[in-house]
Structure 1
């Protein structure tokens, strides 16, 4: 049994990861500001400000998943929180999986990342902060930390929830598109990809993308 700490464990992404991890029999600790409307059986919920809770729970972890959205009171604070999580994970000997955004991917090998181009104004601040967390990880990750940065497809989120299909494709930092030119993944199938990588690690200190 693996102990998995999911920071942001009641959000859209974190909630799916918590449910998938629990369904596989892992010991799951979900960190969030408040309890969810429906708790997942067997999951331990730790509530409060992430900066206060993570020093207490990360030492118990085999794997730490960072899935906090840079919104609301977390806007502008994500880089600092994730820097702390990375350091705590290294100290605990835990694998560190950080969820980022689609905009940190590239449209083609060697091309600028999407975040470096024109972005819709309503998504720009979140995309920039998400990319800043990726850069922090690549440039500052503690020596010896086994990390993974995972980007979902372009159409991803509660607004495009989709259904579990049991399938996905895992690529590198070049975005994946289907034959119709679409890039999408459901929350359940994104969580499936993350847990498959946790259960059978194949990528280390890399940036990967998930899409159909």
Structure 2
């Protein structure tokens, strides 16, 4: 079934991989981005920031994907952006799928500590983990939006190949036999569009890795 998908992102970022995957599968994509002239993926690109979006902007979509990347040093903006999107989509039929943060995941199967608290000492990645943990809390208590939170592994490989394969998990960080937690942007996009099509994780967090 063809879906009408809205994507919030930045030109040159993960959103372009998701749009490319979605369009290749026959979905219709509109992207709200920081610079529509630099957008190189298929679909329509509209220059608009996430906090400038209105309910009317989003009413036509079946699914909204939040792949927005905040500038370094402004990690707290994640909270304001997601709060605004939850407000816009409250009691609507539009599903919201958010690109999460690996810091929100449990560090291991014991589920005794969150990854960002245990393993990230300082810097933007720790700030992002802290902010996105608060975002995930907003999602967990929300009953007005049909949301999904797709946490990536630690490493997203921008120029990695599209294999079409990935492992899916729940709320625990996935690692391989060498202890690496990674996936290509292209395969993360495969997982994202699979979720668009299957809707397998309503009001849940899940994660993927190579």
TM over 0.5: yes
| CA deviations over 1:21-66 (Å, ceiling 9, x no partner) | 111111111011112535333x111112222234342111100111
Residue 131 (structure 2) pairs with residue 133 (structure 1) = no
Partner of 1:87: 87
1:118 Cα deviation from its structure 2 partner: 4.2
Structure with the largest fraction of helix: 1
Report if the CA contact (8 A) 1:58-1:92 is conserved. no
User: For residues 209 and 117 of structure 1, do their structure 2 counterparts lie closer, same or farther at Cα, with a shift above 3 Å needed?
Assistant: same
User: For residues 177 and 108 of structure 1, do their structure 2 counterparts lie closer, same or farther at Cα, with a shift above 3 Å needed?
Assistant: same
Structure 2, gaps ≥5 residues long: none
Counterpart mapping for 1:21-100 below 5 A: 21-35=22-36, 37-41=38-42, 43-72=43-72, 75-100=75-100
In 1, Cα distance between equivalents of 2:78 and 2:72 = 11
1:177 Cα deviation from its structure 2 partner: 1.3
In 1, Cα distance between equivalents of 2:54 and 2:32 = 8
TM-score normalised to structure 2 length: 0.89
TM-score normalised to structure 1 length: 0.89
Counterpart mapping for 1:133-152 below 5 A: 133-139=135-141, 141=142, 143-152=143-152
| CA deviations over 1:147-200 (Å, ceiling 9, x no partner) | 110111112153xx3211110011100111112222110000000001011111
Structure 1, gaps ≥5 residues long: none
Query: Residue 59 of structure 2 aligns to a residue in which SS?
Result: helix
Residue 95 (structure 2) pairs with residue 112 (structure 1) = no
Report if the CA contact (8 A) 2:157-2:182 is conserved. no
1:74 Cα deviation from its structure 2 partner: 5.2
Partner of 2:206: 208
